[in-house]
Structures are given as C-alpha cells and as structure tokens.
Chain A
Amino acid sequence: MPSNPWSFGCVRVAVRPLGPSALGSAVKSGRLVCSADRPETKKATAQKATAQKATAQKATAQEEVIVARHNTVDRIERGAAAAPYQDGILELFAAALFLGVALLWQGDRGAFIPFLALGVVFGAGGAVAWVKNKITYPRVGYAEPRAPGESPWGGVAFLAVGLGVVVAVIAGTGGLTSADSWRRWAPFLAGLLSSGGFWYAAASSGLWRYRVLATYSIALGFIVSLVSDGSSYRPVATYAIGMAAVLAGVGIFTLVRFLRRHPRAGPMVAP
C-alpha cells in the first residue's frame, strides 16, 4: 500500500464523502482499498488491454475483408473514378442541350445556337453543381473527377482526324465545293464533334456507357447524313432529337437507379 493515497485515481472519488484525514484512516484500516492495488484490478486491466487488442484486430480484419471484397486496388480506383458520374445528371443536361439545339434548328432559329453555346459554356457548370448539391452530394458525398491523364494533343488529334474523315467523305460524295454535300454531311460532323465530349467522360470515368454514347453519336450522325438528300440543314435537328431522346432515357434510368440505391445520408463533415 503506498504511503500517499492521493497519488491514485481512487482518491478523487473518495475525497468528498470522507475528507483527507478520514480517507487516510480508511485506507490504513483496510476499509478503503485503492483500485490500483487490487490484484483482480490488474487482471481486469490485462483483460481490458486484451479486449482492446481484439477490437483493433477485428477492425483491421474488417478492413482487410473490405479490401478483399473490392478485390484489387485498380478496381477501387476505377469505382471511385466512376462514382461522380453515377447519378445520370450529366446525361440529362446533355439531353436538354440537344433538345434546345433541335428546337432552335427546327424552328429556323439556328442563329440563336451560338447564344445557347455561350449559355452552356458559362452557365452549365453552375447549374450542374447546383443540382448535384441538392441531389448527389448529400447522398454519396462530393468528389471532383480527375481529368484524364492524357495530353491535350489527344483531343486536338481526335478533332483533326474527325474533320479529316468528314472532309474526305464530302470530297468523295459531292465535292468540297458542293453546298448540298456539306448540308448532307452536317449531321455526321455534328455526331463526330459531340462524341468528343463522351470520349472525354469515358476516359475520365472509365464507364462503358460513355463509349457506347460516343459510338452512337457518330453512328446516328452518319446514318442521318446517309438518308438525307442535302436540300437543307434540317437533318441536324433530327440528329439532335435522336441524341436528346437516348440521353434523356439513359439519364432518367441512371438517376432513378441512383436514388433507389442511395437514400439521403447525413451531413458531409468529418466527426
């Protein structure tokens, strides 16, 4: 038994009801045993340490199970890269854009399309962020997608090859000086240019649906051009409606699936 009972935690509990002198006599007489001196307490401390160790081991084991379930680090990275695109909101905005283009083109208001483009450039980012703040981030958290690691020259090369293909097709079908030929192949050009955005999303997210949409965009543009007679630019509106319909379908399906899978979670702050 130590001479100074104040050095143990048990004193703090005992000091108020007993007072210092009464406490000293209580300790000497054996009526009060400091918990630090009890042999069974040492055992309890050892048990507590064992329990803590077991809990830590269990937590590590659970984490190992989580890692094993994810299978590989590559798969974890792929899942995380695809996560910001899992809500379908990008597709719905793209559908609205194509619908706007189609309506302006169909109503002979093609001159307004540059204004629509400016609206997209300066306003779409903010609008998408606002919707995601309301729907996506409270459910699955916020993540900024990482830009694809490829050099910007990849995009330039894609554009150059696309334009080259369209020019070659126009030159091969009606000649570069033929206005009818340019009108005829305008949807194909639109399809190629639009596919660039989907290829970018595919490279950033690794999701196959953007590759399918990019291929669909090129194929739709080509088919619409093929059946067009080149008398007007109206087939561009047909192409835009075809894109808007598919994008709206994909967007709605993806959004509904996302909302079902992810009920609204709590605040986005670390504890």
Chain B
Amino acid sequence: MIEDLSDIDRVVHEPGRLLILAVLRAVERADFLFLLEQTGLTKGNLSSHMRKLEAVGYVDVEKTYVDRIPRTLYRLTDRGAAAIAEYRAQMERMLASLS
C-alpha cells in the first residue's frame, strides 16, 4: 500500500484543489464567483489553483460575456474526473489497509 502513497496525484491531493475539483464534479460548469462562494478560498488562492488545474488539463476554461460583463466558466474535463476518481480509489485502498 505504500506504493499507493507514493503514486498519489499531488495536484488532487492538495486540500484547496480537492475542494475545487469536488465542486466542479457536482455541476456541469461554474464561474469563478460560484467556486469562490462554494470553496471559501481567497481570490488569489483560487486563481492560483485554477491555473495549476488548467495547466495539467483537469479543468477547461471558457471566457464569455453576459450583458457585456465578462464571465469565466470552468468545467471539469474527463481527465480531471478520472484523476479525482483514481485519487478517491487510492485513498480508499489506503484507509482500508490501515483499518
């Protein structure tokens, strides 16, 4: 089980990013303000985590305008969904091995 620990996806394992991925898993897509409200992170923290998640391909970003007001929409990619599912499975295996 120690192999599981070393193989763990550190992008997902970070608490803030895990929170963001969990929120995005529950909705089709969401904007920055929604993620801010749901996660309770600061703007700077959330922005930095979103950049990391986008860089590894776990999140898709779409910039649109609604009534000439910019709206940044985030969507969990298939890769992101697979990563969070794998992370959950790894954690469950590890916790099962401890009990």
Which of A's residues lie within 8 Å of B, judged by CB? Answer: 59-60, 63-64, 66-67, 69-70, 73, 76-81, 83-84, 133, 137, 140-147, 262, 265-271
Nearest A residue to B67, CB-CB: A133
Q: Taking the nearest CB of chain A, how far is it from the CB of B98, in angstroms? A: 17
Known contacts A81-B26, A146-B28, A269-B71: A141-B15 contact under CB 8 Å: no
Interface of B is mostly: helix
Interface of A is mostly: helix
Q: Is the CB of B38 within 8 A of A63?
A: no
Known: A66-B16, A67-B16. 19 other contacts (CB 8 A): A67-B19, A73-B18, A73-B88, A81-B27, A83-B34, A137-B33, A140-B33, A140-B37, A141-B32, A141-B34, A142-B33, A142-B71, A144-B29, A147-B28, A267-B69, A268-B72, A269-B69, A270-B32, A270-B46
Chain A residue numbers with a CB within 8 Å of B28 are 143-147
What total of chain B residues lie within 8 Å of the partner, measured CB to CB? 39
Q: Is the CB of B41 within 8 A of A143?
A: no
Kindly identify, within residues 47 to 69 of chain B, every residue whose CB is under 8 Å from any CB belonging to chain A: 47, 50, 66-67, 69
Q: Is the CB of A80 within 8 A of B22?
A: yes
Report the Cα distance A54→B67, complex, angstroms.
42
What 4 A-B pairs have minimum CB-CB distances, sorted nearest first? A141-B34, A141-B33, A80-B26, A144-B28
Known contacts A66-B39, A146-B28: A77-B72 contact under CB 8 Å: no
Q: Which of B23, B28, B33: most chain A CB closer than 10 A?
A: B33
Offer 27 A-B interface pairs, CB within 8 angstroms, sorted by A.
Answer: A59-B45, A63-B14, A63-B41, A67-B16, A67-B19, A73-B22, A76-B19, A76-B22, A76-B38, A79-B26, A79-B38, A80-B23, A80-B25, A80-B26, A80-B30, A83-B38, A84-B27, A137-B33, A142-B71, A143-B31, A144-B27, A144-B28, A146-B26, A268-B66, A268-B69, A269-B70, A270-B50
Q: Taking the nearest CB of chain B, how far is it from the CB of A84, in angstroms? A: 7
Chain A residue numbers with a CB within 8 Å of B19 are 63, 66-67, 70, 76
Q: Which of A60, A84, A144: most chain B CB closer than 10 A?
A: A144
Chain B residue numbers with a CB within 8 Å of A266 are 33
The answer, among B14, B30, B70, for a CB contact under 8 Å with A143, is B30
Chain A residue numbers with a CB within 8 Å of B18 are 67, 73
Q: Taking the nearest CB of chain A, how far is it from the CB of B90, in angstroms? A: 13
Report the Cα distance A79→B25, complex, angstroms.
11
Chain A residue numbers with a CB within 8 Å of B30 are 80, 141-144
Known contacts A60-B15, A73-B88: A143-B27 contact under CB 8 Å: yes
Nearest A residue to B46, CB-CB: A270
Q: Is the CB of B70 within 8 A of A267?
A: yes
